[in-house]
Amino acid sequence: MAAISDHTRRPAPGGLYATDHEHDACGVAMLADMQGRRDHATVQKAITALLRLEHRGARGSEPNTGDGAGILIQVPDAFYREVAEFELPEAGAYAVGTAFLPAGPGQADEAVAAIDALAAEENLRVLGWRELPTDPETADLGPSALAAMPVFRQLFVAGVESSDGGTGVGAASPTGLDLERRTFCLRKRAEHATGAYFASLSPRTVVYKGMLTEPQLPVFYPDLTDGRVTSALAIVHSRFSTNTFPAWPLAHPYRYVAHNGEINTLRGNRN
């Protein structure tokens, strides 16, 4: 066995061991039903996988403040139809996403009003906002996570025909990539203009994440333990920040990917 260096408490280079390979990395797992069958069991299995990745997640001096954990699933259309207090168009013709809104007095409502105006500019129709259920008390969030916790609301939008590119009254609402493009523009403009952050905003997938430990995620978001929430695929992520402090928006997964380790270093990008 290689000798231990005094100042790092790591083995000195030797054999197959090299010190430049010594690093920490996040935990990630992916799950999919090969037949595309949606059920709650897929969500449950993904959360089980996330719990098995708890050793990959970082925590500071507060054992109940995590570096971040989250899950990406397909939009549970039937569930949202039951819990939303407004009418939804057919699946795929609307987008949904969770907004992390500023938590100061009146700031969340101001951000919502501004986002509604931006949606109209992007030829999107706001169907409604849902107060996303959360349970920070039962989840036992730590002081740091509570101090930085935003307001959580889900935005539902559908596309409308543009004034210069429509085909007249009765034209079909945009779906697919057209709707994805419009919601991308809305999301980016909203984040720059209002300070809000969207964990996702898509007609296909939805992300539940936060400055949480792995066991806290399904407790903090009761949606995830509701049997009506179904998906045929899931990505879960347990974050270990190697060069950034924890924050609600920095938790993974992101809207399309979750990466296991650093991807922003010069050597990594060259490789």
* Residue 26 is a catalytic residue: yes
Which of 23, 26, 52, 111 is catalytic? The answer is 26
pLDDT tens-digit map of 234-249? 999 887 666 667 777 8
**Greater pLDDT, 58 or 80:** 80
pLDDT tens-digit map of 62-95? 788 877 889 999 999 999 999 999 999 999 999 9
Task: Compute the average pLDDT of residues 199-206.
Answer: 95
Task: Compute the average pLDDT of residues 196-203.
Answer: 95
CA dihedral 235, 241, 246, 250 (to 10 degrees): -40
**Greater pLDDT, 246 or 97:** 97
Distance, in Å, from the CA atom of 251 to the CA atom of 220, rounded to the nearest integer, reads 14
Assess whether pLDDT exceeds 60 at residue 185.
Answer: yes
